[in-house]
Amino acid sequence: MSTFPRPVPEYGSEPFWAGCNEGVLRFQRCAACQKLRWHPAPICTYCQAEDCAWETIPGTGRIHTWTVITHPVHPGAVGKVPYVVVEIALDAQSDLRMISRLVECEPDEVTMAAPVEVVFEAHPDGQQLPLFRLRR
């Protein structure tokens, strides 16, 4: 069975993906202005400082927006539709948002601003992926 693409850890993103394999969300925090940033970037988006530390952040947030994908455009989506792709506003910082998939719920249960929490699920190739579920 075909799967969704496996993420390739690269220069700059390896600590994030390694964190996922340890069951945590690990993001970059700027050493100068203390802002978290996403996606991983080689320089601070807010102040252009280069020094940063990788830090475990809470795996909680709220649904910023979502789409219910019903038309499988990728071979990996066949048999998975309908599925819910979400943009999560993470609790760790007001402007920190990431894309993920919502699991353990029906599409009609999704509501705007619903609280969610991270749950890790292994890609068939072994890499753990940060997915989210509704906090009930």
- The SS3 of residue 51 is coil
Residue 130 · residue 121 · CB < 8 Å: no
Asked if the peptide bond before residue 40 counts as cis, ω within 30 degrees of 0, the response is no
Of positions 25, 30, 52, 101, contacts another protein by CB under 8 A: 101
Task: Report the partner that residue 80 touches, choosing among Zn ion, another protein, none (CB closer than 5 to 8 A by kind).
Answer: another protein
Q: From CA 91, how far away is CA 115, in angstroms rounded?
A: 10
The stretch among 26-34, 53-61, 122-130 that binds another protein (CB under 8 A) is 122-130
Write out the DSSP string of 93-121: STT-EEEEEE-SS-GGG--TT-EEEEEEE
Q: How many residues bind another protein (CB under 8 A)?
A: 38
Contact flags string 12-51 toward Zn ion, x per CB under 5 A: ------------------x-xx----------x-xx-x--
Q: Binding marks (x or -) toward another protein, 8..47, rule CB under 8 A?
A: x-x--x-------------------------x-----x--
Distance CA 47, CA 3 (A): 39
> Measured from the CB of residue 118, what is the shortest distance to Zn ion in angstroms?
25
CB nearer to another protein: give 4 or 54.
4
